[in-house]
Structure 1
Amino acid sequence: MLSTPPALIAVVGPVEPSLFEAWVHHYRKLGIERFLIAFHFPEHVPHAQQHQLQAACRALGIVPTGTSTGPWHEHTNTQLRDTLRTHAGRGWHLLADADEFQQYDTPLPEVIDQAERSGHRVVGGLMLDRVTATGHLTGWHPEDGLDHAYPLGGHLTHRLLHGDPRKIALARHDIPISSGNHRSPGHRPDPDRLCAVHHFKWRSGVLDDLRRRVQHFSTGTWQEQTPAVRDEAARLLSHVRQHSGSIDIGDPQFAFRRVSLDRMPDGWAAEARDIVTAWRPSASSARDRGE
């Protein structure tokens, strides 16, 4: 007997309504029926923009569990996420940010059944950063779709930013998840069954967001647990300054190539396993995080 679809848990910031709509449609195609959404808006987000996103949410038949405003401290997302998980109750939870589109090679109920049969209480994923064909950080037209606007996928997060590319994509309700959904202390996902987490972060407006993040964390306006998030933002800003405002898609270390939400990347299972099993945090990051 196949498991029931998991509840989707997400803390959503001020993304464009078109991205949120595409995100909901993507997960509904995967079979998600329950969306537990909490909105959080930092002080700089205009009320009109907040209301527009909330209206788009309700137009999709989803009633947000909650909305909050104020500083986006590093612990804010984790606290809101865990409150949503409590509301979701028993069963499996799918964890995804609004710019993360998970991709599996089998239907979600089969993914969960396989995990349960093999004794795994979490299912992992690996981030696949999506960028434009030129590396420029531009907007997109909903009628053309995300695959058209950001056709390339590669490994930017850990190879440039030195960030953790691992994701806990699915977890049983009673399994604790670390900040950013990167790890589950005491539980390791099956490295041979990692989903692709298409990461559509590198869009128009992200550079302003990163500059704001660096400024607020540096001044203490937003509280951080470690300097890691601020350092990752600074590395991306430095990189684009060195490459005329774009991401260097020609750098072989990033392994950018054409990918699609309609088909798993060629050789994904082996590629993801090799990266996840070999990846280690930097010495300073591991020390800061107590690893």
Structure 2
Amino acid sequence: MLSAPPALIAVVGPVEPPLFEAWVRYYQRLGVERFLIAFHFPEHVPDAQQHQLQAACRELGIIPTGTSTGPWHEHTNTQLRDALRHHAGRGWHLFADADEFQQYAAPLPEVIDQAEDSGHRVVGGLMLDRVATTGQLTGWRPEDGLDHSYPLGGHLTHRLLHGDPRKILLARHDVPVSSGNHRSPGHRPDPDRICAVHHFKWRSGVLDDLRRRVQHFSTGTWQEQTPAVRDEAARLLAHVRQHSGTIDTSDQRFAFRQVSLDRMPDTWPAEARDIVTTWRPYARSTRDRGE
């Protein structure tokens, strides 16, 4: 007997309504039936933009569990997420940011059954950063679709930003998950069944978001637990300054190539296993600290 579909848990910020709709439709096609969503809007987001996204949510048949406004402290997402988990109750929980489209090798109930049969209480993923062919941080049109607008996938998060590319995608209700859904203390996913997390972050408007993040964390307007998030944003901003406002898709370190939400890259299982089993936190240098 196959497991029940997981409840999707997400804290959603001010994304564009077409992306939110594409995201919901994508997970519905994966078999998700229950969405527990909390909106959080920082101070700079206009009321009209908030209402537009909330209306789009309701038009999709989803009633938000809650909406909050104010500073986006580093602990904000974790607190809201854990409240959603408590509300979701027993069973398996699926964690996905609104720019993350998870790609599984089997239907979700089978993925969960495989994890349980092998004694794993979590299922892991690895970020596959999606960008435009030119590396420009462009907008996209719903009629074109995300695959067409951002056809390249590569390893930008950890090879440029030195961020943690690992993700906990699925976890039993009683399993703890760390900030950012990167780890589950005391639990490790099966390294031979790592899913792809297509990461559509690198769109129009992201540079303003990153600059705001650096400024607010640097000044203490937003509270941070470590400098890691601020450092990662600063590295991306420095990179695009050096490349005329674009991401350098020709850099072999990032391994950009044509990918699709319809099919995993043939090399993915071995590629993902190698990265998740060897990744280590980045050691900040004196230069990173600005000293």
Give the TM-score category using the shorter length.
over 0.9
Among all aligned residue pairs of Structure 1 and Structure 2, give the percentage whose two residues are the same amino acid: 87
1:265 Cα shift?
A: 1.3
User: Structure 2 CA distance, aligned partners of 1:281 and 1:88?
Assistant: 31
Residue 27 of structure 2 corresponds to which residue in structure 1? Answer: 27
1:267 deviates by 1.2
What's the CA shift for 1:266? 1.6
CA distance in 1, matches of 2:283, 2:132: 32
Deviations 1:19-42 (A, max 9, x none): 000000000000000000000000
C-alpha separation in 1, matches of 2:284 and 2:83: 30
Deviations 1:74-113 (A, max 9, x none): 0000000000000000000000000000000100000000
Counterpart residue number, 2:133: 133
C-alpha distance in 2, partners of 1:99/1:240? 20
Task: State the distance in 1 between where 2:221 and 2:279 align.
Answer: 32
Match of 1:289 in 2: none
1:137 alignment partner AA: L
Unpaired segments ≥5 residues, structure 1: 286-291
2:169 is aligned to 169
Matched, 1:242 2:242: yes
- Looking at structure 2, the residues matched to 103 and 6 of structure 1 have their Cα atoms a distance apart, in angstroms, of 15
Q: How does 1:152-191 map to 2 (within 5 A)?
A: 152-191=152-191
Q: CA deviation at 1:282?
A: 1.7
- The one-letter amino acid paired with 2:38 is A
Task: Give matches, 1:1-291, under 5 Å.
Answer: 1-284=1-284
Displacement of 1:284 in angstroms is 4.3
Code of the residue aligned with 1:12 in structure 2: it is V
User: Which ranges of structure 2 fall in alignment gaps of 5 or more residues?
Assistant: 286-291
Which whole-Å CA distance do the structure 1 matches of 2:225 and 2:154 have between them? 28
Displaced runs of 4 or more, over 4 A: none
Task: State the secondary structure of the residue aligned to 1:283.
Answer: coil
Structure 2 distance, partners of 1:277, 1:125, is: 12
Deviation string 1:236-278 (CA, Å, 9 cap, x unpaired) is 0000000000000000000000000011112111100001111
The count of residues paired between Structure 1 and Structure 2 equals 285
Q: String of CA shifts for 1:116-160, please: whole Å, max 9, x gaps.
A: 000000000000000001000000000010000000000000000
Q: 2: distance between equivalents of 1:129 and 1:266?
A: 17
Partner secondary structure for residue 133 of structure 2: coil
CA RMSD of aligned residues (A): 0.7
Tell me how far 1:283 sits from its aligned partner. Answer: 3.0
Give distance in 2, aligned partners of 1:118 and 1:266.
24
Residue deviations 1:166-196, cap 9 Å, x none? Answer: 0000000000000000000000000000110
- Alignment partner of 1:221: what SS? coil
Q: Secondary structure at the match of 1:21?
A: helix
User: Partners of 1:109 and 1:124 in 2: how far apart?
Assistant: 15
Take 1:105 and 1:282, find their aligned partners in 2: how far apart are those partners?
A: 30
